[in-house]
Chain A
Amino acid sequence: MMQDIAMYILDLANNSLYANARNINICLIVDRQVDRLQLSISDDGQGMEDFIVEQATDPFYTTRKTRKIGLGLAFFKALADQCDGEFTLKSKKGVGTTVMIDIRNSHIDTPPIGDLSSTLITLIQADDLVDYRFTYRYDHQEFEFDTRKIKSMLDDVKINELNILLWIKEFLSERINELQEGKR
């Protein structure tokens, strides 16, 4: 479906941006002991009516119109079906949307994690008015990144200025690598 988990994050967070979300929470949990990989993306965007939620994973629902929202949700659900997993989509008009999968980490079709730091940077640089919280738990270690915390440290500088982004990128890569290398 997509090459890696990071691509799904990018695609689904784009849906949140399209829904005018101001706060997007991305949570990735890899637990090798129980052999699960969970990914959830929740936002405070405009949300969807119940009947749209039902159609949202139908690949033809989005192809008919202008296709501002792509096939990401349909692919995300297919990934869950393919990898002994479950897919959940919850949405409330005016409140927000949460989409989640819980799949078997060791399944042969489970894609690699991919480049998380580049994905996050791509999202952060797009709009400095949107805040992200990224939580990554790998086995028993956890790393949390919150753009609000970064912003509180920045005075008159925007979070999406180049030098800040470069710093965040390096910081994220370092922490994510540490986590994945299992320095417990």
Chain B
Amino acid sequence: MKVSKLAEKTSWNVYGDPKKFDKEIEGVYVGDLLSWVMGHGKVAQAWLTIQSHANVLAVASLKEFSCLIICENDGLSTEFIQQVLDEEVLVLTTSLSIYDVCKKLIELGV
């Protein structure tokens, strides 16, 4: 499924350049320990985490994840949103827990 389709099918907030949202999601990776995600995440996966700071974007960018889904989130700082735009990472946010996001993704066939 493409990131744009996922954004359309959910009511999750979306940040990033709309032109880049046709990236294909190939699998999902879940984790908050950044060094672990660096070592185990794979290109084009959607990455689920609860963290929202610059290091997360750096990891998402390095690993070339298709998108970053920030869970249990109740709003991003303006500084973070600017970094999202600067680093060309596609970010979705939701107040759902990681578990509920996983269930949703499975339901959608990601």
Interface of B is mostly: helix
In this assembly, does A18 line the interface, its C-beta being within 8 Å of a C-beta of chain B? no
A159 to B68, CA, bound (A): 46
Across-interface contacts of A63 in B (CB, < 8 A): 58, 61-62
CB distance from A89 to the nearest CB of B (A): 16
Tell me the nearest residue of chain B to A72, going by C-beta: B35
Q: Which of B53-110 contact A (CB under 8 A)?
A: 53-55, 57-59, 61-62, 83, 86-87
Query: Knowing A1-B35, A2-B35 touch, does A71 contact B87 (C-beta < 8 A)?
Result: no
In this assembly, does A59 line the interface, its C-beta being within 8 Å of a C-beta of chain B? yes
Across-interface contacts of B61 in A (CB, < 8 A): 60, 63
Tell me the nearest residue of chain B to A111, going by C-beta: B33
Q: Are B57 and A75 in contact (CB-based, < 8 A)?
A: no
Chain A contributes a number of interface residues (CB within 8 A of B) equal to 13
Query: Knowing A59-B58, A63-B58, A63-B62 touch, does A78 contact B35 (C-beta < 8 A)?
Result: no
Q: Are A71 and B54 in contact (CB-based, < 8 A)?
A: no
CB distance from B99 to the nearest CB of A (A): 21
A60 to B61, CA, bound (A): 9
List 7 extra interface pairs beyond A58-B54, A63-B62, A74-B55, CB under 8 A: A60-B58, A60-B83, A60-B87, A63-B61, A71-B58, A71-B59, A78-B55
Binding site for B on A (CB under 8 A): 1-3, 7, 58-60, 63, 67, 71, 74-75, 78
